[in-house]
Structure 1
Amino acid sequence: MFKQFAGIVLFFSLFSVCLRAQQQDTIVVARDGSGKFRTLQEAVEGVRAFMDYTVVIYVKNGLYKEKVVIPSWIKNVEIVGQDAEKTIITYDDHANINKMGTFRTYTVKVEGSDITFKNITIENNAAQLGQAVALHTEGDRLVFINCRFLGNQDTIYTGAEGTRLLFSHCYIEGTTDFIFGPSTVLFEDCTIYSKRNSYITAASTPKDVEFGYVFKNCKLTAAPGVDKVYLGRPWRPYAATTFINCVLGKHICPAGWENWRNPENEKTARYSEFKNTGEGADISGRVPWSHQLTKKEIKKYSIQNIFKSSSSWLPSLAK
């Protein structure tokens, strides 16, 4: 009886060890063939659907020219680059190739939820001939840490209502409306680089969603010669965008915000700021329909409130 019991204990111990080993698996991607896969898409397709534990896809330095789709049945995955400046996912589609339209131009499309990207560059290096998305998101609870997003018009499209995203210590560049969409997104400690005179954000926040784009402790910079950039314009009437404790370069124009050539948007757009600094932070010339938050109002902009929804979510980075 004792031997039988000991055998059962041994079996479950070995099973537990094997399970832990499985849960700690790291899939290696290397363009030079030294990993299990040579492309990120192959690695994604090798991940089991609806996992309840985290799998790491480790991407070695290299230039990966591919369009990547992370489907909706993929969750609990971390995609980690070896070096943010040397691990580059790139493609060059733009909206005017065979009437492609904006929403098919992505380099990386994330449909799955609970996905984290670290130390990686996502780029759309198409010529400036139309909209060209680098990152297109549709999943919920997505985190991007120390990543670089390179492009021109429409670099990042946060494309699904009711989804929540966090960008921390990221670099984002573009020309026109290069952060756009309906999602609730917190940008913390990011660098936002404007490559020409135009607009940074084009939010399309739904009317019943309190928070759209929130920038905290970010630095807004620009290419030489760029001197008239707006913080945002409303892609949809109830666009919500806020800049908090950010450093605004002199390229930010005094008005700050634009109505997309539609005065009716001034009645509904929700644009606000709080204690920004830098040469572009002077509020004396701001459009009258934007808002400067009070000390009482700013208390609402905690990460807990920003990401509250039908389910609670507090990214591990913020704990």
Structure 2
Amino acid sequence: MKLVKSLLLIPVLAGVFSCKKSQDIATTANENRLATTEATTIVVAKDGSGNYTTVQAALNAVANNSSTRTVIKIKNGTYKEVITLASTKKNVSIIGESATGVKLTYDNYASKINPATGAAYGTSGSASTFIKAEGFYAQNIVFENSSGPVGQALAINISGDKCVFNNCRFLGRQDTWYAGYVRVYCKNCYIEGTTDFIFGPATAFFDGCSIYSYGGTALTAASTESYVTYGLVFNNCTVTGASGVSTVMGRTWRPYAATAFLNSSLSSIIAAAGWSDWGSSSNDATARYREYNNRGAGASTSGRVSWSRLLTSSEAANYSNFKTVLKTTYASSPVTDNWDPSIVIANP
């Protein structure tokens, strides 16, 4: 398949040219081509039938700071590579060939020594995939950290704003999914892990997602800033786990942790207390743990900690609307930009 290049800025002869790119052309000049009004499409295939054989090479070829979308189609296969989408590679879509046939994986973990530095990777540096650019979209992608039960080991580290994941899977154990001071929307995704495997300060909306626990202290560990209204919001989700598991929905990584479960199915793995203050009672006055209209063996609130609460119906109407949750930037003085992730889902 051909790579569509930028319009040549020649007054008389302007046109769109296609050429098959070989992997050794990823030069600085190539990466800084002017964006066009047409979406650029790149194909990645391990067998060499596309433009690139690695995902990272395709990402490197994306034009910097483009206002138009670049679509990277990835053919089925397991791609073992640490992947970084640089902050300048904006508005990128990666779309897998089939629902579960494309896996992006690596096996770093927090205490593993990075041979390039001689120091441990640390939690944030252990990710298999780093998303640093805004406007990222992923569909039909499996993000995995394959290191197993070795402590903190991220499948993904998200630091770009307005990221969308549609029908993706996040596989790992401790600290599988992390997002920073940004907004994220996950639709029909699967996330698994042990301890705190969905964590960070992000405002993130999980819509119709499946959450699976292998056992550990908590599903989530939010570190929401005090000036942010919404943290981790789970709506119409399903929570299950391995046999014999007992865990809670969240624990306070930081004092103003904000997490809500609404209209969701909570299995018997959820302990009666529901939530944890991480052993610090001072967090009880500041944590924002909310529930509404959940069902299942773990949904009873009769034994919940006294400092969590049920949402009112009017509050729940806001929490269950992703456009409301995600409409402002993550900032102490937020800007209302009315971000609507359904737009990129409809036209990825």
Same fold (TM over 0.5): yes
Q: What is the correspondence of 1:233-244 to structure 2 with a 5 Å cutoff?
A: 233-244=251-262
Deviation at 1:57, TM superposition (A): 0.3
Whether 1:252 aligns to 2:270 is: yes
Q: What is the correspondence of 1:90-239 to structure 2 with a 5 Å cutoff?
A: 90-98=105-113, 99-159=120-180, 161=181, 163-226=182-245, 228-239=246-257
The C-alpha deviation readout for 1:173-219, integer Å capped at 9, x for no partner, is: 00000000011000000000001142100000000000000000000
Q: Aligned partners of 1:126, 1:107: CA distance in 2, in Å?
A: 10
Deviation at 1:16, TM superposition (A): 6.8
The C-alpha deviation readout for 1:91-140, integer Å capped at 9, x for no partner, is: 00011112221011001100000010000100001031220000100000
Q: Aligned partners of 2:112, 2:305: CA distance in 1, in Å?
A: 37
> Which amino acid in 1 is paired with 2:317?
K
> Counterpart of 2:340?
314
> Which amino acid in 2 is paired with 1:282?
S
CA RMSD of aligned residues (A): 1.9
Q: Aligned partners of 1:172, 1:29: CA distance in 2, in Å?
A: 25
> Which amino acid in 1 is paired with 2:53?
R
Q: Aligned partners of 1:135, 1:229: CA distance in 2, in Å?
A: 23
> Which amino acid in 2 is paired with 1:104?
G
- Structure 1: gaps spanning 5 or more residues: 1-10
Does the CA-based 8 Å contact 2:35-2:66 persist in structure 1? no
Q: Aligned partners of 1:269, 1:236: CA distance in 2, in Å?
A: 8
Deviation at 1:85, TM superposition (A): 1.6
Does the CA-based 8 Å contact 1:84-1:148 persist in structure 2? no
Q: Aligned partners of 2:74, 2:37: CA distance in 1, in Å?
A: 19
Q: Aligned partners of 1:294, 1:142: CA distance in 2, in Å?
A: 29
Deviation at 1:26, TM superposition (A): 1.5
Aligned residues: 306
Counterparts in 2 of 1:43 and 1:17: CA distance versus 1, 3 Å: closer
> Counterpart of 2:47?
32
The C-alpha deviation readout for 1:135-182, integer Å capped at 9, x for no partner, is: 1000000000000000000001112x2x11000000000000000001
> Which amino acid in 2 is paired with 1:115?
F
The C-alpha deviation readout for 1:74-99, integer Å capped at 9, x for no partner, is: 11111001123210000000111122
Does the CA-based 8 Å contact 2:35-2:68 persist in structure 1? no
> Counterpart of 2:308?
290
Q: Aligned partners of 1:236, 1:184: CA distance in 2, in Å?
A: 14
Q: Aligned partners of 2:67, 2:37: CA distance in 1, in Å?
A: 12
Counterparts in 2 of 1:31 and 1:259: CA distance versus 1, 3 Å: same
Identity across the alignment (%): 44
- Structure 2: gaps spanning 5 or more residues: 1-9, 18-33, 114-119, 329-334
Q: Aligned partners of 2:98, 2:88: CA distance in 1, in Å?
A: 28
Q: Aligned partners of 2:210, 2:63: CA distance in 1, in Å?
A: 35
> Which amino acid in 2 is paired with 1:171?
Y
Tell me, what secondary structure is at the counterpart of 1:41?
helix
Runs of 4+ residues over 6 Å off in structure 1: 11-14, 16-22
1:88 aligned to 103, 121, 143, which one?
103
1:64 aligned to 76, 79, 82, which one?
79
Tell me, what secondary structure is at the counterpart of 1:232?
strand
Q: Aligned partners of 1:180, 1:196: CA distance in 2, in Å?
A: 16
Q: Aligned partners of 2:204, 2:128: CA distance in 1, in Å?
A: 20
Superposition TM-score, scaled by structure 2 size = 0.84
> Counterpart of 1:49?
64
Does the CA-based 8 Å contact 2:236-2:264 persist in structure 1? yes
Q: Aligned partners of 2:36, 2:199: CA distance in 1, in Å?
A: 40
